[in-house]
A and B are shown apart, each in its own frame.
Chain A
């Protein structure tokens, strides 16, 4: 179809099929996206953009009015007519693919038995056929850091793309980091004081001391898988993610990571992180900020504090992105763009808000060289929405691409919608 203009109208194409969503084939044709409002993910916007995609990568990323484009080069030219183009949203600290139905224990694979499990790896349990994932990517969330939960050290996460035949295909960055929960001062459900808190902190210290000592040699007489899994944290190949919300936990986590010479530390949660911004900056610790749509932790907190935390962290100069763990988290991942929207409603620039779910996330996960923004040379992982994707009122994802592969944005829910709409229409 050389030289042909393929004109797409708003919301016009629904690839209505009854089939299970199938991974898109490798990009073979050269694509030009024209006249879309491109939100690059690095803070910039190009209103009438020209974006070319060749071999799964972005090549031209420019203002269509200021460059000369040789349309003959392209197999497909898509006229976007003011639709919005966004880099694929990244869901960090996610259990997608590790759980299917919350209440059905047998569908859950995110929490291993025991307190210290750095060696368990989420990637091999990641289910590429999850019905939830298809509803998530239909809203523009295209990558995720699949993360184990539970215990003191939950396990090792990996970053995946949300369109794959199996987990080996899905891997974007394998074993990117180890996840640790800072001991809680009170029980999550009962609210009662955790009497074992001191003991748990001591156990953590003991574990780190031994893991560090073990990592100093490579010819250990007897292999210890738990300690083997910690090597990356000490040699800088992996990030240590510490899940902690409150000021004391955060500062203690930083001190522990310094004590054991952890190379890269990220705080996950970070409700109080803005209060210790200087310490975070000084130690180059970034934050995956807890779900923006949550209740304040303290009675007297600003009623909107969770909405305003992005602004507080931004103003304080802390490097951070947004995460989504908590109640209903797997299925709620599709609301990630709206957390950025709320952050924008409460004081930050919309493009800055977009960074919090794209480029900043990529940077914290160490994948920003290849993904996270619409920039020449990076993976063509992006989506198109007829309106502002950060607002549920206008978010309407019409197509999505991962490394140039067009993805099926259909899902189980859309199928049921069509099925039953059809039922009434035919009555």
Chain B
């Protein structure tokens, strides 16, 4: 993409004086320009500089001086902070403080598709989830209640934005003061905000995560087009705003470790480095996240423990939920250890009171105090370019600080005061005289033993009256206000039958109270109370908390059951004496050795040897190439269908691969080594697909097979007709044909525009706007240019013929008809056209259009020379594709050798991977499976699944893995029970069952 030369527009500048300068004053002006000094404190000037016994001097909301030798001018109000701590106040740069909550206004309903233009009124973007023009500063209202809540946590300044939509507009920097908005708002348009979340948009598009990604990309291309072509006929406020704000820091709410990687990929394409708002599970892919070079904003929302005392209930909590519960507090420590710059946010915390608790928990779990402080002061300020004003207590900076009773990371430390821009907000008054203790209360000569307990804020008094053998306790009300004290009680004894009301003053640091009292008989008396000698306090031996050397819970890859402790490595391997199904001219070789080296099949023969090779005994076993599932929907995040438009060629499954799907491991256990992950069958032109090897434990990017041609899903028939409600075109097979012609012809015309533009001389080009890049049409052209191949969901012969006609007329070949349950009716035509068929072995009767589906379909297509495969479209069937292949033997009598190719070599051919996969041939990828028996037999079980020479599934280690699963689960359950007994909050045992996608699954 062409580099954008954009101008940073600063609409508001910092204004550190009271902003009401411009306002009219009612009556006499009252301006205070005194100094305030905070003396004798332990002061953190910044996250790493602590000075003892120091003074902070402020004036007019700014810091004048800080240090051990601060000269205090005459007009200074002095606060003695002996024993107290003083920190720069905390900064949260991911907040929606003071923002109106977005309201969804009606639904677009079925058929009200984005394409119809449901955008908000005015010259804005066509899609309502793209709202970069939203300016938080213009929406901001002071919300004293919420400000107070945040001040209690120690925050002084927050960066706020309206958390609604995919492109959300800009943020505003505000203090948590209670003044007029003008005095609270510090800066507008500080950062630009994005998220993978449609928010209140009523547009149907995008209906999936991959749709959101495509929309962001297309919007950036539109911005580029607008920026580089001044003469275009469109005025678009939204896109113009993106241009204006291009150079601002960009914060992307990704909310999952994998989505951080997804967002970063978008950024890479457009030379944009985002700051990522994460979710707290970054530790699970820390290496990849580090590699993004993005800064992070991380919440402190640790999951609650589950109620697992009932062992039956405990079964409901899945392994990964337990693991994450245990590991979540360690996340920040791990992020810090990996030297990733991060800020901490209180967002995502439903119970804000958990903020400091969780922060301290993180510190106990490996996050250093200085790193924690840095993540709440320096980093957030620095991320948004405001460290010159906030984030530390240096001269000239804003007087935002908190006073605490102790080191803020100590469990018992309290925040006493939060000063915002030089204005005091008391949270817990440290100036209160502590009157707790035991006193001799002398009321006109009568002595009572008064015991005061409770807290300085709420003292509780009791007098023990001894009459004979009985002791009665009398409650005494004590109210302390500054140095004044009131004591009320009714002794009901020989001295007094009514209430004694005493008023007085406190002196000697709380040790002596005295004053006048009024008895119930109306008599005034003198009274005093003198604190008794301190009881010899039991020498509490400072229990040196056993600081166990920090044990960070082990992260598995992925962090779930069967996850790996470390990434699998390839070893030189010889499988000895197996029956080898080569899928080549050699056929099935008995008693044969196969050498795997450097991830490839190196030799096939007898008596093979290689230095240092591990030997796998293949005697009486069968070795085959790995199964390739041509049609799978496993390992996909947040939606397999972008249903919302008839043509969505711009979206791609490769953007949303989910490496954390347990079904990856389960497919490995069924001998599957590669899968073609397809978009669903909602629309005539679906999205682009991804081809992965099941490299369990790897990241999504590492799972992708590199350098493969692109593929795309098309779909015909009932799913296309019924999806998207009753008013999306097409509703009939007739309409489907026209959608195709329209899409391809538009793509051709689009290409023609570009060609014409390219033919212009440079000079001519300068005067003509360039065509706009259209990702959808670019993809359609890839198909016509034979750079991308179609796998088309199809059932009935009529529409199959139709698509072949469309393809013929556009000069390309339909690569694969997938499902193709009536392929047997048109196998000759498919053969002639050059299309392959990837079908189900025996599914039928689930829709009207599969009424004529027959299990002999594969056999007939194969016999007619069509490259034929069996696929699953189903996570369950996907791991039994060997059995499905056997059905080609049963139904139609295909030879065993050929039937086996239906799930190996033939799908490799259909995916254009047969040059490196799909058979046991020297030089091909070492993707092999060792079976206990003939792989087509139902009695065959998988013994080893090897990809690139690495063993990913091994029946021999399964028992140990299951045991490890059970042990690990039991260990964490035990920990959870202890945590609950220790007062941790819990939730009911439950786990969300992950959704299984099929072709026709709509929604995320």
Interface on A for B, CB 8 Å cutoff? 100-104, 131-132, 185-186, 191-193, 246-248, 251, 272, 293-296, 298-300, 302-304, 327-328, 330-331, 334-335, 338, 341-342, 344-346, 390-396, 413-414, 416-417, 420-421, 424, 427
Contact = CB atoms under 8 A, between A and B. Distances in A.
B785 interface: no
Contact of B852 (A293, A346, A392, A416): A416
A4 to B, nearest CB: 30
Nearest to A192: B992
B965 A391 contact: no
B969 interface: yes
A100 B318 CA distance: 37
Contact of A102 (B665, B847, B941, B991): B847
Nearest to A101: B848
Contact of B934 (A251, A298, A393): A393
B316 interface: yes
Nearest to B824: A420
27 contacts: A101-B845, A101-B851, A185-B990, A251-B312, A295-B996, A296-B666, A298-B315, A299-B320, A299-B560, A300-B561, A303-B665, A303-B666, A328-B843, A341-B939, A342-B938, A345-B938, A391-B886, A391-B939, A392-B883, A392-B886, A395-B890, A413-B853, A413-B856, A417-B860, A417-B891, A424-B863, A427-B828
Nearest to B317: A298
Interface in B670-721: 718
- Chain B: interface residue count, which band? 35 or more
Contact of A424 (B828, B852, B854): B828
A302 B988 CA distance: 25
Contact of B318 (A102, A300, A391, A413): A300
Given A191-B993, A296-B666, A302-B958, A393 B312 contact: no
Contacts of A346: 941
B895 to A, nearest CB: 12
A413 B857 CA distance: 10
A345 B940 contact: yes
Contact of B938 (A304, A327, A338, A413): A338
B992 to A, nearest CB: 5
Nearest to A306: B876
Contacts of A424: 827-828, 860, 863-864
B631 to A, nearest CB: 15
A186 B663 CA distance: 21
Given A191-B993, A416-B854, A331 B845 contact: yes
Interface string B639-677: 000000000000000000000001101100100000000
Contacts of A396: 890
A135 to B, nearest CB: 8
A417 B892 contact: yes
Contacts of B824: 416-417, 420
A191 B875 CA distance: 17
Nearest to A420: B824
A330 B318 contact: no
B844 interface: yes
Contacts of A345: 938-941
A294 B876 contact: yes
B937 interface: yes
A295 B312 contact: no
Contact of B889 (A191, A334, A341, A393): A393
A341 to B, nearest CB: 4
Interface string B885-905: 011011110001000000000
Most chain B Cβ neighbours within 10 Å, of A192, A251, A298: A298
B495 interface: no
The 9 A-B pairs at the shortest CB distance, nearest first, are namely A300-B561, A341-B938, A102-B846, A191-B993, A417-B856, A413-B854, A300-B319, A393-B886, A103-B847
A328 B846 contact: yes
B993 A186 contact: yes
A191 B316 CA distance: 12
Given A390-B938, A417-B854, 16 more contacts: A102-B847, A104-B847, A191-B995, A247-B315, A293-B877, A295-B875, A298-B315, A300-B318, A300-B965, A302-B958, A344-B939, A346-B941, A391-B886, A395-B890, A413-B844, A417-B856
B880 interface: yes
Nearest to A427: B828
A127 to B, nearest CB: 13
B346 to A, nearest CB: 27
Nearest to B825: A420
Interface string B955-996: 000100010011001000000000000000000101111111
Nearest to A11: B893
Most chain B Cβ neighbours within 10 Å, of A185, A294, A303, A421: A303
A299 B663 CA distance: 9
A191 B992 contact: yes
Contact of B312 (A191, A248, A296, A328): A248
Contacts of A251: 312
Contacts of A304: 669
A386 to B, nearest CB: 11
A344 B939 CA distance: 7
Contacts of B847: 101-104
B268 to A, nearest CB: 32
Nearest to B853: A413
Given A303-B666, A393-B934, A338 B883 contact: yes
B938 A101 contact: no
Contacts of B842: 331, 334-335
Contacts of B886: 391-393
Nearest to A341: B938
Nearest to B322: A300
Contact of A299 (B318, B843, B990): B318
A298 B848 CA distance: 34
A328 to B, nearest CB: 6
Contacts of B863: 424
Contacts of B663: 295
Contacts of B934: 393
A375 to B, nearest CB: 26
Contacts of A417: 824, 854, 856, 860, 891-892
Given A103-B848, A424-B828, A186 B990 contact: yes
B855 interface: yes
A288 to B, nearest CB: 19
Contacts of A102: 845-847
Contacts of B876: 293-295
Interface string B229-262: 0000000000000000000000000000000000
Most chain B Cβ neighbours within 10 Å, of A328, A334, A390: A328
A303 B669 contact: yes
B936 interface: yes
Contacts of B827: 424
Most chain A Cβ neighbours within 10 Å, of B846, B847, B994: B846
B843 A331 contact: yes
Contacts of B319: 298-300
A100 B848 CA distance: 9
A131 B847 CA distance: 14
Contact of B845 (A192, A302, A330): A330
Contacts of B848: 101, 103-104
Given A300-B318, A393-B938, A424-B860, A100 B845 contact: yes
Nearest to A304: B669
B844 A331 contact: yes
Contact of A103 (B316, B846, B966): B846
Contacts of A246: 315
A393 B845 contact: no
Contacts of B855: 413
A364 to B, nearest CB: 24
